[in-house]
Structure 1
């Protein structure tokens, strides 16, 4: 079996850039939430790598939890904006500062529907942290409170992002060769 790196056209964000940015984000979050009841909420599966690194870069006490959500439409190929919670949080959000941790903010449809759903659970605040943002694809009015990198409208994988459940384990963010996903 060939290494998965052969499918990458070029590296968009290097492993070193990711490490530096996560350290920077962790320091900012630690300052902003000092003395508060912080809950980091990872949206699975893509955000798990970023979440693992980010929670170690946060230097204040915090709790973690996980959600699986999907936005679905017709044949599951387009998003209608309806959000289905596949795995809900295990914790009560009352009075907590919730920071949603995402791998990529793309159209924003799912998160623009998820945030109000979480706000109904009486948290102190709900904010968003994403390692990647594609503002050129945004269809919903949502902006991350913490953002690692803005990326162009290219098919990116690695650092938790996948194509057909592959490439999540790459230590960098790379652009997938079109021939891989246009088969």
Structure 2
């Protein structure tokens, strides 16, 4: 059964960033000059991201490494997390006594317009889900918020009868709108802010930023702390 209710200890929530987390001073890092004046802090340094993804890979291989795995990357926001995670999974497999075959497939979902949820899920490439029949599927997602998007995807996948489905998400948002759905593997739990960077976007902008940043703050040009994931 993919996902679970929030009954796990804090370790199951990933690295928890509190609502008042101020981030790191920009002067401690380097970043592109054309973003000078747009950024206010570094929310999560790249080294921490890399270490956390490596640990997720170890946890995944410990749990399901006895099976061949079909990785289903949710585009577009999940591609960078997926690439890094798969690389760690492959490295672990190469150095183990049992080789685990891993194939990567892709699916595109759309549930946001600008920074707001559209209230429904659009699945692009739904006909390709038939390849999941009988497979051990690892869904790799960028962000789990309310959980409704992932539940809708799981509902679509289940009719193709995969052998097993697990979910890994780089970020999980704390939000009052959550239905308590949680991925099986979570990188970081963050406050309920709309973030971009590290392949996450705002209407296709900011994907090139190796950071996570609060879009609302950026658009208002306010002095509220920006939340960002910086990848030097």
Contact 2:173 2:190 in 1 (8 A): yes
Shift of 1:27: 1.2
Q: Does 1:95 align with 2:134?
A: yes
Structure 1 residues 155-164 or 119-128, which shifts more? Answer: 155-164
| Distance (Å, rounded) in 2 between the aligned partners of 1:76 and 1:136 | 15
Contact 1:72 1:84 in 2 (8 A): no
Contact 2:147 2:179 in 1 (8 A): yes
| Distance (Å, rounded) in 1 between the aligned partners of 2:166 and 2:51 | 22
Instruction: Name the structure 2 match of 1:181.
Output: 219
Q: Does 1:13 align with 2:44?
A: yes
Q: Deviations over 1:108-159 (max 9, x none)?
A: 2211111121111110111210011102254334211000000112232211
Counterpart mapping for 1:119-134 below 5 A: 119-134=158-173
Gaps of 5+ in 1: none
Larger RCO, structures 1/2 (Cα 8 Å, 6+ apart):
2
Shift of 1:166: 2.3
Instruction: Name the structure 2 match of 1:151.
Output: 190
| Distance (Å, rounded) in 2 between the aligned partners of 1:21 and 1:27 | 10
| Distance (Å, rounded) in 2 between the aligned partners of 1:53 and 1:78 | 27
Higher strand share: 1
How many residues get paired? 180
The change in CA–CA distance for 1:76 and 1:56 in structure 2 (over 3 A counts) is closer
Counterpart mapping for 1:66-77 below 5 A: 66-71=106-111, 77=116
Counterpart mapping for 1:26-175 below 5 A: 26-58=57-89, 59-60=92-93, 61-71=101-111, 77-80=116-119, 82-88=120-126, 89=128, 92-175=131-214
Q: Which has the larger radius of gyration?
A: 2
Q: Deviations over 1:46-78 (max 9, x none)?
A: 0011011010010332111000122379x9954
CA RMSD of aligned residues (A): 2.6
The change in CA–CA distance for 1:3 and 1:31 in structure 2 (over 3 A counts) is same
List structure 1 runs of 4+ shifted beyond 4 angstroms.
none
Shift of 1:96: 1.1
Equivalent position SS for 2:140: strand
